[in-house]
A = this chain, B = another copy of it.
Amino acid sequence: MNGHEVFDLGDFTLGGGATLRDAKLAYKTYGTLNDAKDNAIVYPTWYSGRHWENEWLIGEGMALDPSEYFIIVPNMLGNGLSSSPSNMPPPYDKARFPNIAVADNVAAQHKLAAEHFGIESLALVTGWSMGAGQTYQWAMSHPEMVPKIAPFCGSAKTSEHNIVFLEGVKGALTADDAWKNGWYDEQPTKGLRAMARVYAGWGFSQAFYWDRVYEEMGFTSLEDFLVGFWEGFFLDDRDANNLLTMLWTWRNGDISKTPGFEGTYEEALAQIQARAIVMPAEKDLYFPPEDEEYAVERMPNAELRVIPGVWGHFAGGGLNEKDTKFIDDALKELLAE
């Protein structure tokens, strides 16, 4: 499930001024691009996610059906497969890897879609969490290519409370001396485990823990869930510098910072013409539905659908059938319009 393609971005200049020389965009496609080249869907990854961790939403009979659509899953810069601190040669390696904006990710993905595949218009852009942020950014950066978007459990601008959450995550990771300001030879596992425990409280809702839903996932106690799911998650080949690179990307997400755009966040939202179904989760603790309600009210062609239930942010993570069906149903409806 790990097989993927690599697109050469060449010397890729970032909005911040640095140039990633010989940059790579790792991606995987599902299905076949039709002759009209109008059946492509871009479905970006999320914080620390890899393309195979998006596959739960792709499949026969689902909205993202490879027999009908050509689904491109581009790996975020910094995720360890695309150009990242962990795989960049010196001098831009490790702690010197430059800051990556959400718009940089979308610029790279746009090169892949437009230059490599020759796509002029996408059928849809959709994504979870930071993937939702990239979805909004696609609609902002390339409105002519993006008639429909479905961002779920994410936002067009990272809110202040979300930044506070990220600061806690970062603080825990970087409290470990083994991190060595990014110049480690071995992963700072104590920091990664601490980060995992901080994340655990945010990723699911209070009600999820109250109801011990982790037992349905096969975990045998709260501590088993913290170690087995959460610590395991961040120890699964997720490099500390990569995580900090993507954290910066997340923290600084804001469509109103799109290069060339001069205006407020509200004005940026008003500019998004794409037909949108926006799906926050009812009990998401860092992307609460109120924030997306605020966004949808300011978007001319958007509809809010709150994913009900106790799964919190991970309602969009493909861990339970009910929430997956909710998202899939909305995507089907959007694609059929």
Contact = CB atoms under 8 A, between A and B. Distances in A.
Interface of A: 159-161, 163-165, 167-168, 170-178, 190-191, 193-202, 205-210, 212, 222, 226, 285-286, 288, 290-291
A174 B191 CA distance: 9
A285 B206 contact: yes
Given A201-B164, A222-B164, A171 B159 contact: no
Contacts of A201: 161, 164-165, 167-168, 202
A212 B160 contact: yes
A175 B161 contact: no
Q: Which 4 A-B pairs have the closest CB atoms?
A: A171-B194, A161-B209, A168-B198, A171-B197
Nearest to A177: B177
Nearest to A172: B172
A288 B226 CA distance: 21
Contacts of A161: 201, 205-210
A12 to B, nearest CB: 30
Given A161-B210, A190-B175, A210-B160, A197 B288 contact: no
A208 B174 CA distance: 26
Contacts of A222: 160, 163-164
A166 B164 CA distance: 17
Contacts of A202: 201
Given A164-B200, A201-B164, A201-B202, A159 B194 contact: no
A180 to B, nearest CB: 11
A167 B206 contact: no
B194 A164 contact: no
A37 B187 CA distance: 62
Nearest to A164: B201
Given A177-B177, A191-B175, A222-B163, A206 B290 contact: yes
